[in-house]
Structure 1
Amino acid sequence: MSLSIDADVVVVGAGIVGAACAEALSAAGVRVVVVDRGAPAGGTTAAGEGNILVSDKEPGPELDLAIASRREWPAVLARLPETVADVEWESKGGLVVATTDPQPLEDFAAAQREAGVDAQVITPADAFELEPLLTRAVTAGVYYPEDAQLQPVLAATALLAAVRAGGGEVRAGVTALSVRRSAAGRVIGLETNAGVIRCSAVLNACGPWAGSFSKSAGGPIQVLPRRGMILVTAPLPECVRHKVYDADYVGAVGSGEADLQTSTVVESTRGGTVLIGSSRERIGFDDTIRVRVLRELARKAIGLFPFLGDVPVMRAYGGFRPYAPDHLPVIGPDPRIEGLWHATGHEGAGIGLAASTGRLITELFLGLHPHVDPKPFRVDRPAVLSPAPAEPVAARTSGGTS
Structure 2
Amino acid sequence: MNSAAPRTAARGTDVLIIGGGMIGCALADRLALAGASVRVCERGGVASGTTAHGEGNVLVSDKGPGPELALAQLSRRLWPAVLERLGPGAAAVEWEPKGGIVVATTDAGAAALTAFADGQRGAGVRCERLDAHQLAAAEPALTRDVAAAVYYPDDAQVQPAAAATALLGAAVAAGAIVETRCAVTGPLIEGGRLVGVRTTDGPRRADLVINAAGPWSGAVSELLGAPIAVKPRRGDVLITAPMPPTVFHKVYDADYVGAVGSSDAALQSSAVVESTRGGPLLLGSSRRQCGFDDRLRPDSLAAIARKALRLYPILADVAIMRAYGGFRPYVADHLPVIGPDPRLPGLWHATGHEGAGIGLSVGTAHLISAALAGQPDEIDLAAFAVDRPAVIAEPRTEHVTR
TM-score range for the pair, normalised by the shorter chain length: over 0.9
What is the aligned partner in structure 1 of residue 182 from structure 2? 174
Per the alignment, residue 148 of structure 2 pairs with: 140
Structure 2 residue identity aligned to 1:169: I
Structure 1 partner of 2:3: none
Instruction: Specify which of 50, 65, 74 is matched with residue 59 of structure 1.
Output: 65
What is the CA–CA distance in structure 1 between the aligned matches of 2:192 and 2:154, rounded to whole Å?
A: 45
Which of residues 239, 243, 246 is equivalent to 2:253? 246
> 1:286 — aligned with what?
293
Is 1:264 the counterpart of 2:259 in the alignment?
no
Call closer, same or farther: CA 1:285–1:400 in 2, change over 3 Å: farther
Paired residue type of 2:141: L
Name the CA distance, whole Å, in 2 between partners of 1:131 and 1:367.
Answer: 47
Aligned to 2:85: 79
Corresponding residue for residue 40 of structure 2: 34
**Selected match of 1:153 from 146, 149, 161:** 161
Deviation at 1:388, TM superposition (A): 8.4
* Structure 1 position 293, deviation (Å): 1.0
**Cα distance in 2, alignment partners of residues 276 and 369 from structure 1:** 40
Counterpart-to-counterpart distance in 1, 2:350 and 2:161? 18
Of 53, 59, 70 in structure 1, the residue corresponding to residue 76 of structure 2 is: 70
1:321-336 to 2 correspondences below 5 Å = 321-336=328-343
> Counterpart of 1:152 in structure 2: which amino acid?
P
CA contact (8 A) 1:189 1:196 kept: yes
Residue in structure 2 matched with residue 44 of structure 1 by the alignment? 50
Contact 2:337 2:349 in 1 (8 A): yes
Q: Distance in 2 between matches of 1:82 and 1:195?
A: 36
Preserved contact between residue 231 and residue 316 of structure 1 (Cα < 8 Å): yes
Q: Are 1:193 and 2:197 counterparts? A: no
> Matched residues in 1 for 2:295 and 2:344: separation?
37
- Measured in 2, the distance between the counterparts of 1:23 and 1:371 equals 21
Q: Distance in 2 between matches of 1:163 and 1:179?
A: 25
Q: CA deviation at 1:318?
A: 0.3
Whole-Å separation in 2 of the counterparts to 1:82 and 1:90: 16
Worse-matched range after superposition: 140-149 or 69-78 = 69-78
1:367 aligns with 2:374: yes
Task: List aligned pairs for 1:206-221, cutoff 5 A.
Answer: 206-221=213-228
Distance in 2, matches of 1:8 and 1:317, equals 37
CA distance 1:387–1:125, change in 2 (3 Å): farther
* Equivalent position of 2:136 in the other structure: 128
Query: Which residue of structure 1 lines up, in the alignment, with residue 5 of structure 2?
Result: none
Determine the structure 1 residue equivalent to 2:96.
90
Q: Give the alignment partner of residue 108 of structure 1, picking from 101, 116, 138.
A: 116
Indicate yes or no: 2:27 matched with 1:12.
no
CA shift for structure 1 position 81:
5.0
Which residue, 1, 18, 27 being the options, matches 1:21?
27
> What is the TM-score of this pair, normalised by structure 1?
0.94
Structure 2 CA distance for aligned equivalents of residues 187 and 294 of structure 1? 43
Contact 1:81 1:162 in 2 (8 A): no
Matched residue count = 389
Partners of 1:95 and 1:275 lie apart in 2 by 15
Q: Determine the C-alpha separation between the residues in 2 that align with 1:66 and 1:151.
A: 18
Match of 2:308 among 296, 301, 304: 301
Q: Identify which of 368, 389, 392 aligns with 1:385.
A: 392
Q: Structure 1 counterpart of 2:392, which letter?
A: L
Gaps of 5+ in 2: 1-11
Q: Which residue of 1 aligns with 2:238?
A: 231
Contact 1:69 1:356 in 2 (8 A): yes
Q: Which moved more, 1:381-390 or 1:122-131?
A: 381-390
The alpha-carbon deviation at position 170 of structure 1 amounts to: 0.8
Match in the other structure for 2:9:
none
- Tell me, yes or no, if the aligned pair for 2:223 and 2:401 is still in contact at 8 Å: no
Superposition CA RMSD, Å: 1.6
Aligned to 2:292, what secondary structure does the other structure show? coil
Distance 2:47 2:240 in 1: 23
* Residues in 1 aligned to 2:298 and 2:177: alpha-carbon distance in whole angstroms: 41
Return the alpha-carbon distance in structure 2 between the equivalents of residues 318 and 80 of structure 1.
30
Q: Partner amino acid for 2:103?
A: V
**Displacement over 2 Å in runs of 4+:** 81-85, 386-390
1:356 maps to 363
- Using a 3 Å threshold, how does the CA distance of structure 1 residues 121 and 55 change in structure 2: closer, same or farther? same
State the AA in 2 paired with 1:220: P
Q: Of the candidates 318, 340, 345, which is equivalent to residue 347 of structure 2?
A: 340
